[in-house]
Structure 1
Amino acid sequence: MNTSQQLKKNYHFIKYQKLIVVSVLIGFSSTLLAIILKRITEHYETILLIKAKEHWFYLFLFPLLGLGMIYFFRQYLFQKKENKGIREIFETTAQRRNSLPIYKIPSHFINGFITVIFGGSTGIEVSTVVATATIGSIAQEKENLFNRHKTELICAGVAAGITALFFSPFAGILFAWEVISKKINAVFLLVCSIATAVACLMLSLLDEKPLFTVQLQGWHWYALPYFILLGLLVGMHSVYLTKCVLFFKKRFTKIKNTATVFL
């Protein structure tokens, strides 16, 4: 083996060593963030729900209070920087030089927490996905060896976060592949497998329960057509919902621009 081959072998050995270490750290950090967000959200959501049952006018007051708090935090704490949801991840992975800034972690954490506990029509899933993707993005910035693996490290954070919420490593890896990466390679499998394994270990040690559980009473093959029909209906509904959101968002954006012109 000549010198260049030896150097190349050593380079890959060191790179994969560091990828394993950073995958463990991403898995631990992402899981910890997801668990904390889930626990405090469930805790305060229960408290406010009990209050709303006792006094009906809280059903109208809480959403207004939540909107006001989110507006205040966005205007003054995060300096009018908007949260675009998962689209932020797409914009980051599409450009090698672009990265998710660190403020996205507290921004999405607070936004998801306040929205859910005050009765907003959303969950903590998107907030968890973007915040954990930011952890992976930050890890990529810390080491020059990871410049080519930003998407894979972002996927590792997302996979660990989804695993922490639903205790399903397969769902975490599948989501990271289908939604974020859209391709599989050796690095993707390595970092996502390690990150989700760390997540599963932490969930087991902490006896953490998933967001919801489904009790299966047995499997019957005659139910298969109904599952296929359910998949088709849900797929059509998701496309319809996405198109509705984009349609109304586009219309409201035009209204805002028109108002700016008149002012």
Structure 2
Amino acid sequence: MAKQATAEKRQRRERGSINPDDIIKGAFELAEEVGIDNLSMPLLGKHLGVGVTSIYWYFRKKDDLLNAMTDRALREYARFATPYVDAQDWRDTLAGHARTMRETFTGSPILCDLILIRSALSPRAAKLGVQEVESAVRSLVEAGLTPEQAFDTYSAMSLHVRGSVVLRRLREKNLAANEGPGDIDDSLSFDPDSAPLLASITAQGHHLSGSDDRNFEYGLECILEHAARMIGENSKAGRKPTKNSARER
């Protein structure tokens, strides 16, 4: 009965009954099942119940379809992952923003593949949330950092999040492909005699090169602590950055 229901669901559509939005939506559905790397036009045609030529009418090659999917992913990401940093509570709000970014991408491999891996050099991705990032950096200036320090702090946080997510995603891809170890940590083995400290610590679940929650939180705390120290030093030196100094930069 299940096979019959599936067959009825996948009956061929009438010619001209599909549009670009249907195709993109179906591509996301199929990518959730097979992944971005295994997504193909013939598979998508079967998933949608149309001939592959109906897809090529709108998207001449897979790369065109992926571009459209990336644009939609960027809009979706911008909708629910807008950066927010409050000057009065900068440490907690910046940390919360970092954790939200990471949870968003780790919770959606498709978003990670399209936004962080595939569109890493995309001009559209570079412009994502520019005004929101401007506001976050300005809040860090109001909290007591210089414009340069605020920019570097936000940049370091963003880089830490993206690097952590991409390393985890690449490990998942390697393991799924059954092509050996997922990452360097899977192939490392420390001899207790020659490297007793490393052997003892990694035996407790710590990772040297992998990206787990412990490594992420430690790196995030280092960034926050460094920013707090700079704010303290600026306060002692009498440097009090303002909103205007951030705009002038």
* TM-score, structure 1 as length reference: 0.23
Higher helix share: 1
State the TM-score, normalized to the length of structure 2: 0.24
Of structures 1 and 2, the larger Rg is shown by: 2
Greater relative contact order (CA < 8 Å, ≥ 6 in sequence)? 1
